[in-house]
Structure 1
Amino acid sequence: MAQSNFTLPDVGEGLTEAEIVSWRVAPGDTVAINQVLVEIETAKSLVELPSPFEGVVGEILVEEGITVDVGTPIITVLSSADAGTPGSSADTGSPASAASPAVPEAQVVAADTADSVSAESERAVSARAAASGAAGDDGEKPGAVLVGHGSSAATGSRRRRAHLAPSAHEAFVPQAPVASPSTSAPAGVAKPAPARPAPALSAGPVLAKPPIRKLAKDLGVDLAEVTPTGPIGDVTRDDVIRQASQVSVFRNIETPAWPADREERIPVKGMRKAIAQAMTSSAFTAPHVSVFVDVDATRTMEFVKRLKSSTDFAGVKVSPLLIMAKAMIWAVRRNPIVNSTWTDEEIIVRHYVNLGVAAATPRGLIVPNVKDAQAMSLLELAQALEKLTITARDGKTQPAEMANGTITITNIGVFGMDTGTPILNPGEVGIVALGTIKQKPWVVDGEVRARYVTTIGGSFDHRVVDGDVVSRFVADIASIIEEPALLLE
């Protein structure tokens, strides 16, 4: 009987091990070439591995939750002919007729599959965004714009980890049902969920377009709990995304009882291990220096509002993070040394910007980056950031999307934080933090007025950049946030 062993491939990352997350097949199942066999987790990403063979699954050699080295056999596949499965090439009787070339081709197939999944996710989100039309009122706080931060309920349902008990923050994610629109109701009107009393801020039915309801369902958001900001009191796309971010950030809003176990032990592996190693290396290798400045962001908020109402940006996520990203690129051009890397022998200054965006995902902190962001228009940058957001939230960010970053932005304002001292992404010499944007008293022309104010902070590698450069760079970013019209120069 011809039997083929499928070994754990490298998947092109140069990594040495991976964890078996979820098997998609069982012994006795018939599989075809390119059919997904298993989902694995490396230190960088989740990857679906397709079969390089056709036949019948013989034995699963590694259980879910186990970490194994690259090259370890993880599953056996019997040839279709020997298993008695119709459609096999029984005339040759050769094992090679049932098995295509081994690991190298499997690596290529795995990469192609991952790319196609990300593309399909992007197209689906773009279609939903286009259907929902332009975003609503701009009275929102910037807490809705954390890149990569989505409902953990949506991503958690894809993954199964029987070997670990759910953590506290996973166990208490609100799982409220979302009311489906009735076919007999007027367009854009849905019946309130009967199982929940109407919130104090909403005494009648929830107004929302069908695409908005679909988005809410996908993100696990109960529309009855969303504060609408639309022109007719309807729930907008931004309202739903903001609510999803708040639910995810404040998922421990309910105080659970103390667990029966006095201790919980979480294995340090996969992405958490990689994060720990990277942050430790960065913190104890690069001497960090940090600076902060408060900025009147009122004109940025007004600019974001105008962009949202523009037909050119219809269906595209627009937020203060977009203006911050553009400001970063502009400031890098004026202070190129902050866009460098240190090698002990030399400082390499990059005259391009692969803009990293720190993304808090259910799997942990990742930093995907927008390649050649300096060559993008404002619209192209907005589209690239939205793609980055959706891909990270879906857990489909690939290693290539996190490689070769040159400078990073982190949006801590989504957590309601004014500022912080971020740690440098390894290999970079600058990271800038955008704090929450909220109304505060601010002196304008000798009078105290209510203005939208934020704090911009950053950390830098003092081996490469001196205090005067750091100060000029952050001041340049602040000048754009204060007056976005400077980008027109």
Structure 2
Amino acid sequence: MSELRFPLPDVGEGLTEAEIVQWRVAPGDRVELDQVFVEIETAKSLVELPSPVEGVVSSLLVEEGSTVDVGTAILVITTDDGGAASSAPAPTAAETDAADLVADTAGSVSSEGPRPVAEAESGGAVLVGHGSTGPAKSRRTRHPAPGGAHETLAPKQPRAAATEVVVTPHATGERDPRLPVLAKPPIRKLAKDLGVSLANVTPTGPLGEVTRDDIVREASQTSVFRNIQTPEYPEEREYRVPVKGVRKAIAQAMVQSAYSAPHVSLFVDVDATRTMEFVKRLKASTDFAGVKVSPLLIMAKAMVWAVRRNPTVNAQWTDDEIIVKHYVNLGVAAATPRGLLVPNVKEAQEMSLVELATALEKLTITARDGKTQPSDMQGGTITVTNIGVFGMDTGTPILNPGEVGIVALGTIKQKPWVVDGEVRPRFVTTIGASFDHRVVDGDVASRFVADIASILEEPALLLE
């Protein structure tokens, strides 16, 4: 037997620190190969770290909420017999579904101070990647611990009886308060990120479970300042948020962009009536069944089309040279519970309209669920931000660092518009765009924005 110290890895390119968000294990717990044992937050995303060995957790060396440098020891595991694979029986599909829906009991992760251990050979074990057996199937379980309950991931075990939880469809959409809240782990994670109490959510799932849409709907009905306005905190006059993680990265990036790139901005009003009609037809098409279609899809496709006609807006300034890129990694600014993220769709210029719609939907859901990986936010070439979803007509967007162009799509709503000499109600939007004036001259910027506007006015041009 040996005790192994494991250092915090660099899960992205050049990241120097990360915050310990949540331990999934506690001292005394047994961990299996590839079992997720901790969730960390870097400047770019939430990341789950899997164990490269089997063994028993000796001690947790870092408390939750602490920010530590890459390379700092965070965990000690005692291994035995070379980390033989677990022989626990695999669960059936029915047991897996039932386990995923059972409500967790409230509790907190227990903490135990670091215990001295001898340094040992780790055999090349690192806290990234998966072992040779592939990802281990696991579910959340709770074990009692001093001072409260703690949460860990353990191998799934067959449930002793099928009558542990009685699930009854709710015809009225109201939940019986005597029954546990039914929600799968990703839905619970989303509720936690959005500050939504599952007890307050009306479930609409077929088995009475809470769905993603239920969480989003509840969150949208709650004030952004709910933590200040609740009667539980009447004495609080200020609310302070530590500047770290994603918020710190956003601040640094925006300051760098604003003070290093000379921004120039353009705006144009557009008759988007035909775009709205086109979106309606796509939604009714069998080719787009099950895929989200919105004006943002047409905007994204229009940008890719306009980049091909004006390639210098899809470039990078390096002081020594301008790198014009003949591929489009289209960034999409996404407001998430963790802050503003800009993941990008790789090689968007190669995608059909259906493929682009699918990629945008996946990107949005992943960002909203807090699962965006660092690689998804690297290598962007140009960005679109949809401020129209917040009811804004337009704005002056700040460039994503490393890029020379960003376009904002404003809200689309009916306004009086002159058509053939007559004033008619039309769906109108405003496009706002910013460029790095060191790379993009006014004429190029104007042609680029005009090309996007022409597609929104007549999306049939995309089919030519």
> What interval of TM-score do these two structures reach, taking the shorter chain for normalisation?
0.7 to 0.9
User: What residue in structure 2 maps to residue 45 of structure 1?
Assistant: 45
User: Would you say the 8 A contact 2:45–2:373 is kept in 1?
Assistant: yes
User: What residue in structure 2 maps to residue 178 of structure 1?
Assistant: 202
* Structure 1 residue 288 displacement after superposition: 0.4
User: What residue in structure 1 maps to residue 282 of structure 2?
Assistant: 307
* Structure 1 residue 244 displacement after superposition: 7.0
User: What residue in structure 2 maps to residue 31 of structure 1?
Assistant: 31
User: What residue in structure 2 maps to residue 196 of structure 1?
Assistant: none
Higher relative contact order (CA 8 A, sep 6+): 1
User: What residue in structure 2 maps to residue 387 of structure 1?
Assistant: 362
User: Would you say the 8 A contact 2:191–2:198 is kept in 1?
Assistant: no
User: What residue in structure 2 maps to residue 218 of structure 1?
Assistant: 212
Cα offsets for 1:89-111 (capped at 9, x unmatched): xxxxxx999965222xx32339x
**Matched ranges for 1:79-228 at <5 A:** 79-80=79-80, 101-103=124-126, 106-109=127-130, 155-157=189-191, 176-180=200-204, 210=206, 217-221=211-215
* Structure 1 residue 178 displacement after superposition: 1.9
**Matched ranges for 1:57-456 at <5 A:** 57-80=57-80, 101-103=124-126, 106-109=127-130, 155-157=189-191, 176-180=200-204, 210=206, 217-221=211-215, 243=217, 246-247=220-221, 251-252=224-225, 256=229, 259-456=234-431
For residue 235 of structure 2, give the secondary structure of its aligned residue in structure 1. coil
Q: Higher strand share goes to which structure?
A: 2
Q: Which runs of 5+ in 2 are unaligned?
A: 88-117, 139-185
Cα offsets for 1:229-253 (capped at 9, x unmatched): xxxxxxxxxxxx7x578547x6459
In 1, the alpha carbon distance for the partners of 2:367 and 2:51 equals 25
User: Would you say the 8 A contact 1:350–1:406 is kept in 2?
Assistant: yes
For residue 256 of structure 2, give the secondary structure of its aligned residue in structure 1. helix
* Structure 1 residue 265 displacement after superposition: 3.1
| CA distance 1:26–1:422, shift in 2 (3 Å) | same
| CA distance 1:317–1:82, shift in 2 (3 Å) | closer
For residue 274 of structure 2, give the secondary structure of its aligned residue in structure 1. helix
RMSD value, Cα: 3.3
User: Would you say the 8 A contact 2:187–2:212 is kept in 1?
Assistant: no
For residue 471 of structure 1, give the secondary structure of its aligned residue in structure 2. helix
For residue 321 of structure 1, give the secondary structure of its aligned residue in structure 2. helix
* Structure 1 residue 82 displacement after superposition: 12
Cα offsets for 1:98-130 (capped at 9, x unmatched): 965222xx32339x999x99xxxxxxxxxxxxx
TM value normalised by structure 2: 0.75
User: Would you say the 8 A contact 2:262–2:437 is kept in 1?
Assistant: yes
TM value normalised by structure 1: 0.72
User: Would you say the 8 A contact 2:393–2:410 is kept in 1?
Assistant: yes
Cα offsets for 1:158-177 (capped at 9, x unmatched): 56xxxxxxxxxx66889743
Q: Higher helix share goes to which structure?
A: 1
For residue 424 of structure 1, give the secondary structure of its aligned residue in structure 2. coil
For residue 211 of structure 2, give the secondary structure of its aligned residue in structure 1. helix
Which residue identity lines up with residue 101 of structure 1 in the other structure? Answer: G
For residue 354 of structure 2, give the secondary structure of its aligned residue in structure 1. helix
In 2, the alpha carbon distance for the partners of 1:53 and 1:383 equals 37
For residue 128 of structure 2, give the secondary structure of its aligned residue in structure 1. helix
In 1, the alpha carbon distance for the partners of 2:79 and 2:274 equals 66
Which residue identity lines up with residue 212 of structure 2 in the other structure? Answer: D
User: Would you say the 8 A contact 1:153–1:219 is kept in 2?
Assistant: no
Q: Which runs of 5+ in 1 are unaligned?
A: 88-94, 118-151, 160-169, 182-209, 222-240
| CA distance 1:470–1:47, shift in 2 (3 Å) | same
Which residue identity lines up with residue 77 of structure 1 in the other structure? Answer: I
For residue 229 of structure 2, give the secondary structure of its aligned residue in structure 1. coil
For residue 107 of structure 1, give the secondary structure of its aligned residue in structure 2. coil
* Structure 1 residue 482 displacement after superposition: 0.6
How many residue pairs match? The answer is: 382
| CA distance 1:312–1:339, shift in 2 (3 Å) | same
| CA distance 1:261–1:96, shift in 2 (3 Å) | closer
Q: Percent identity?
A: 68
User: What residue in structure 2 maps to residue 132 of structure 1?
Assistant: none
